[in-house]
Amino acid sequence: MTDLPGVVITGASGRMGQMLIQTVTQNDAVRLVGAVERSGHDWVGRDVGAAMGGSDLGVVVTDDALAAFSKAQIVIDFTAPVATIEFAGLAAQARAVHVIGTTGMTDDDIAKLEPASRHAVIVRAGNMSLGVNLLVQLTKKVAAALDEDFDIEVIEGHHNMKVDAPSGTALMLGEAAAEGRGVALNDVRDSGRDGITGARKRGDIGFTAIRGGDIVGEHDVLFAAAGERIVLRHMATDRAIFARGAVKAALWGVNQSPGEYDMLDVLGLAEPK
């Protein structure tokens, strides 16, 4: 069992952190060796299993990320952009695979990961599910096949505690639609409608964000023209799909050379470079 890759989970107390811990402890191909929380959090110093309301797991929550990473081959990170950038540097020092599911990262944030990727594997995706990554590919193909007579709107829904909008998955879908059309998303993005906005600009890719209740994740890509609409949809009902995808990405990453990858690479869906 000690030969299995060791995994550290950052943001251990969060929704995804706890789901990741459950998923790792139930997976026979990996072992949990660390759990990280921010300094001052009341979980620090406690066994993570007990902190989650269950039995001890033999892993004490720490706020010393580098010490935790140094004992691991894998770091799985669904936290916040500032924390993720710091963790990337520390994971690279430990030569650990860094799986990033953090959303809300800007282009500048993502660029700051590049130095770490020279020394370690980074697998980053706005969504770790197989279904969503298939939806990304479908969105690109449909956008490429349709002209600007079809307005594109990405409609996403999440629980009422989500802090960023549009979601990382919605932005993945928007990027796919823009790539299909041969344009840059930043040039055609429309996500700030409120009040008297005027008519929709031809060729824009719009975003609508819904926040409510305990919605895990729902994403529609709407292609709307005069007289017809096409809707591509993915609905997640259990966030365990994201945790399972993250573990799959981690195990894949263990056998790769340093660099930046995404779930399309993991799933063998990436187009030849």
Report d(CA 81, CA 144) in Å as an integer: 31
112 in catalytic set: no
* Catalytic residue (choose from 158, 219, 234, 248): 158
158 flagged as catalytic = yes
**Paired sense of beta strands 228-236 and 205-211, if any:** unpaired
Structure tokens at 163: 């802090």
The catalytic residue among 41, 119, 159, 162 is 162
In angstroms, the CA 256 to CA 91 distance is 15
DSSP letter, residue 201:
P
Q: Beta strands of 132-177 (E only): which ranges?
A: 151-158
| Alpha carbon 53 to its chain's center | 26
Residues 5/250, Cβ–Cβ less than 8 Å: yes
Q: Which residues are catalytic?
A: 158, 162
